[in-house]
Amino acid sequence: MVKVEFLGPIGKAPVEMEAKTLADVAEKLKEDGTVKEWLPKCAVALNDTMVSDLNTPLKDGDKISVLPPVCGG
Amino acid sequence: MELYRGPLDVKEIFGRWLDEEAESNYGAYIPFVGTIRAEDGIEALSFDIYEPVLRAWFDGWQEKAKARGAVVKMAHSIGDVPVHTSSYVSAVFSPKRRVALELIEEFVEDFKANAPIWKYDVKNGERIYAEDRSTPMDGSGLLA
């Protein structure tokens, strides 16, 4: 199982799921109508490191963070 | 990198940073202060931060600055920050002014684009995500 957390204004509780790659996570998240709307503008971190490859392999206990558009300062 | 709940004590932070580098032989110290402006009827801005990714982002900038003989510092607020107070300060120290002038611009611009911080307007005590002023981070849309 991997854990997916939704940061900032997304306002959704973390979910756990079975996934072998980030592509599997993408497929499952698209089934949630509210989350699906956020995905085109969200970046992704795996265990607190930013990632850019859908084929990134996942292992049990991994933490995936979904980061919506930012505005610091 | 320093994180505080509520507004920043700008004078204390800048004074302390100046003291920290007093003997470092830097010829230039360029501070930047972000102050909350009163506009659109807001009482305050409010901030969420994802600290692990922010620290990694900042560490990357420390390395970039070091490669140019410079140091970057920053402090940011978490939670509500009233108008006319400050939520963000940063600074660059470098041996000569040119590197510091260039770095402060690059650092503040990348901060706006890629630091994992979310901003909300506070109106009538309600927090409203500042969606129209927010920028998707590099690599956004991976899961879409």
Nearest residue to B117 via CA among B81, B77, B83:
B77
What secondary structure does DSSP assign to B27-74, as a single string? SEEEEEEEE----TT-SEEEEEE-HHHHHHHHHHHHHHHHHTT-EEEE
Number of domains forming the structure of chain B? 1
> Does B140 reside within a domain?
no
Distance CA B38, CA A21 (A): 46
Would you give per-residue pLDDT tens digits along chain B (144 residues)?
999 999 999 999 999 999 999 999 999 999 999 999 999 999 999 999 999 999 999 999 999 999 999 999 999 999 999 999 999 999 999 999 999 999 999 999 999 999 999 999 999 999 999 999 999 999 999 999
**What is the domain-level CATH number for residue B120?**
3.90.1170.40
Residue B51: which domain range? 2-130
Give domain limits for chain A. Answer: 2-67
B34 contacts chain A (CB < 8 A): yes
Contacts of A50 in chain B (CB under 8 A): 53, 56, 137-139
Report pTM. Answer: 0.94
Q: Which residue in chain A is spatially nearest to B121 when comparing CA positions?
A: A71
> Does B138 reside within a domain?
no
pLDDT computed for residue B18 by the predictor: 97
CATH architecture designation of domain A2-67: Roll (3.10)
